[in-house]
Amino acid sequence: MTNPNKIAVLGGGSFGTAIANMAATNGNTVYQWMRNEERAKQCQALRENPFYLPGFPLHEMLTITHDLQTAITDAALVFVSIPSQSFRSVVKLIQPYLSKDTGVISTAKGIEPENFTLMSQVLEQELPDHPIGVLSGPNFAKEIVVNQQTGTVIASEYDALITLTQKALSSGTFRVYANHDRYGVELGGALKNIYAIVCGMAAALGTGHNTQAMLLTRSLAEMSRLAQVLGANPMTFLGLAGMGDLILTCTSDLSRNYRVGYAVGSGKSLNEAITDIGQVAEGVNTVKLVKEKAESLNVYMPLATGLYAILFESRPVIEVAQQLMQGEQNYDVEFSGKLSNEPSTSL
């Protein structure tokens, strides 16, 4: 049996800390697990995470620990806030400590290279007997912890898990919407990172509002086109986890993906940009996987393909932008039966 008020959060980064603190503030008994024992002890003693969210005090109901068993035993919900590159290895560690009905929720916005696997699919594979879900939306950790009003989405086939998550996290400043299209919600969160890099790059080149509006809108069209072919509901992309997160990360330098794009657009190499940011920018790997996927499925994704050419084939940004603008004319709104998946060379 699980304790309905016990929640575990795996990951010592900015989003894990924000989620853990919110759940603790709501009166839950919360354990945040960090792999680094020294850091866990330091954060627990300081009542702060100076590595990712310096200056922000943590709630007394939150315990930070290096002990995975203590963190997980009896927890009703486990949030996995580990970047996609390490996600599976951490999920493998928790299996022995989970209770039978513990719900496990991914907050990671990335894709595993093998078989284009999303993180909740990793959960499905590694923890087939557990209810699973995805938390995704326009959610900068740095704004959540200072109580900026925020909306998010819990996506799952399990209504009990949705209700439990809403109860654990909802507050006067955090609103948790439900969605049953887990795949679409998760895909939206992963794909938008590509376009955040594109928009950061465009901003570095001094583009105006017209360009930004076009980029955002065509990004949404492109994401939805792939999503539909992959079996997600493209309408999901009109919600917080699609359009909402796209707007957020494509317009703000709080986004690490946007900052990678801005740095590359300003003349830095990709490696320099990543090193300077010092935190995970999932879009850099996602664009490689999406370019391959789009080619194998013959889905037209000019922005993702153009970004790949700039980041990994040394194509000049200006040259790629001009090519996109001068291609043949295309339709504005898709999914009306016209041109939904026909190849073209324009934006």
Ligand X SMILES: NC(=O)C1=CN([C@@H]2O[C@H](COP(=O)(O)OP(=O)(O)OC[C@H]3O[C@@H](n4cnc5c(N)ncnc54)[C@H](O)[C@@H]3O)[C@@H](O)[C@H]2O)C=CC1
87-116 binders of ligand X (CB under 6 A): 89-90, 107-110
Q: Which residues contact 94 (CB under 8 A, 6 or more apart)?
A: 10, 68, 72, 78, 104
248 near ligand 13P, rule: CB under 6 A: yes
For position 242 contacting ligand X by CB under 6 A, the verdict is no
Residues 6+ apart with CB under 8 A from 147: 173
Min dist. Cβ of residue 171 to ligand X (A): 17
Pick from 40, 56, 68, 83 the residue near ligand X by CB under 6 A. 83
Cβ contact 303:325 at 8 Å: no
Q: Is 81 in the site for ligand X (CB under 6 A)?
A: yes
CA-CA distance, 76 to 88, in Å (whole number)? Answer: 20
If the CB atoms of residues 89 and 271 are measured against ligand X, the closer one turns out to be 89
Among 79, 140, 174, 195, binds ligand X (CB under 6 A): 140
Task: Give the CA-trace dihedral at 115, 116, 120, 126, to 10 degrees.
Answer: 20
Q: What burial class does residue 159 get, using C-beta atoms within 10 Å of its C-beta: 0-12 exposed, 13-18 middle, 19+ buried? A: exposed
Q: Which two tokens stand for residue 282?
A: 């999932």
Kindly report the CA angle at 86 between 142 and 153, in degrees rounded to 5? 45
Is 233 assigned a ligand-binding role in the annotation? no
- Judged by beta carbon distances under 5 to 8 A according to partner kind, the member of ligand 13P, ligand X, none in contact with residue 255 is ligand 13P
Given the residues 142, 192, 288, 291, select the one marked as catalytic. 192
Q: Is 26 in the site for ligand X (CB under 6 A)?
A: no
Nearest distance in Å: CB 199, ligand X: 16
Rounded CA-CA distance 289/226 in Å is 12
Cα separations in angstroms, 145 against 28, 140, 142: 17, 9, 6
Here's the x/- map for ligand 13P, 128-147, by CB under 6 A: it reads as: ----------xxx-------
What does the DSSP 8-state code read for residue 59? P
Tell me which stretch binds ligand X (CB under 6 A): 77-85, 265-273, 319-327, 334-342.
Answer: 77-85
How many residues make up the chain in this entry?
Answer: 347
* R_g over Cα of the chain: 20
CB nearer to ligand X: pick between 228 and 285: 285
**From 14-22, 197-205, 287-295, 308-316, span contacting ligand X (CB under 6 A):** 14-22
- Quick one: what does residue 86 bind among ligand 13P, ligand X, none, with the CB cut-off 5 to 8 Å set by partner type? ligand X
Look up 338 and say whether it is catalytic. no
Q: CB–CB of 198/212 below 8 Å?
A: no
Footprint of ligand X (CB under 6 A): 11-16, 35, 52, 81-84, 86, 89-90, 107-110, 139-141, 279-280, 282
- Residues labelled catalytic: 192
**Binding site, annotated residues:** 11-16, 35, 52, 109, 137, 141, 192, 245, 255-257, 280, 282
Footprint of ligand 13P (CB under 6 A): 109, 138-140, 193, 196, 245, 248-249, 255-257
